[in-house]
Chains A and B, each alone.
Chain A
Amino acid sequence: AQSVSQHNHHVILSEAASLELGCNYSYGGTVNLFWYVQYPGQHLQLLLKYFSGDPLVKGIKGFEAEFIKSKFSFNLRKPSVQWSDTAEYFCAVNSNTGNQFYFGTGTSLTVIP
């Protein structure tokens, strides 16, 4: 079975600091990769996704992620965080032949004004 690891469980940053959240997956085949965000009291929503092509993908609100196939990684980055980025972030993966999605345990980000 596939699995997804998010190594940072809780991250605290000051506004304007740079962010990088790690995500590694275990699956040897072709995968589709996603980052979702859950703001307090809101639905889970898609931040960005990677299916193929340019391994550097840009999402909403200034977020980006880089797919490094050799490292089985899909780390999320933002150059300068804002207080409104306080949320829980989930990495997810599915194979291009499967119907199941596998989620990491999530990273809780707190941005201090």
Chain B
Amino acid sequence: DGGITQSPKYLFRKEGQNVTLSCEQNLNHDAMYWYRQDPGQGLRLIYYSQIVNDFQKGDIAEGYSVSREKKESFPLTVTSAQKNPTAFYLCASTTGGQDEQYFGPGTRLTVT
């Protein structure tokens, strides 16, 4: 089955630690996205990538970093500089341009 996988489903970290969230897709999509979902705030864009080895900041990129070394993979690192990292993180992909996005199941990160 084609789709997007995110792992792990739940992640717990201590404050001050960096943590990396995984996102893999086998849809052969060019573009990949990371969103943060908080109650009452919808989905806010963290980073996106249109092509391998290239990515752009979204609206809330501060405290996050990404890499796109392979077409299939777009990991997100939540750094210790992110002031409020506890959230639900969603990865998405699309063929590119303006076609609809396909979403992964999400990772719920809790930082204490």
Interface residues of A (CB under 8 A from B): 1, 4, 6, 9, 32, 34, 36, 42-46, 49, 51, 90, 92, 94-96, 98-106
Does B42 lie within 8 Å of A34, measured CB to CB? no
Q: Which of B10-18, B65-73, B97-105 contacts A (4 or more CB under 8 A)?
A: B97-105
Chain A residues positioned under 8 Å from B96 (CB to CB): 99
- Interface of B with A (CB < 8 Å)? 31, 33, 35, 40-45, 48, 50, 56, 58-59, 90, 92, 96-98, 100-101, 103-106
Listed by A's residue number, 6 A-B pairs whose Cβ atoms lie within 8 Å are A4-B42, A44-B92, A94-B98, A96-B98, A99-B96, A103-B35
Q: How far is the CB of A96 from chain B (nearest CB, A)?
A: 6
Contact A99 B103 (CB under 8 A): no
Q: How far is the CA of A106 from the CA of B44 in the complex (A)?
A: 12
Q: In the complex, are the beta carbons of A103 and B42 less than 8 A apart? A: yes
Q: Is A9 in contact with B97, judged by CB distance below 8 angstroms?
A: no
Of the candidates B35, B44, B48, B103, the one having the most CB atoms from chain A within 10 angstroms of its own CB is B103
Residues of A within 8 A of B56 (CB): 99
* Least CB distance, B84 to chain A, in whole angstroms: 17
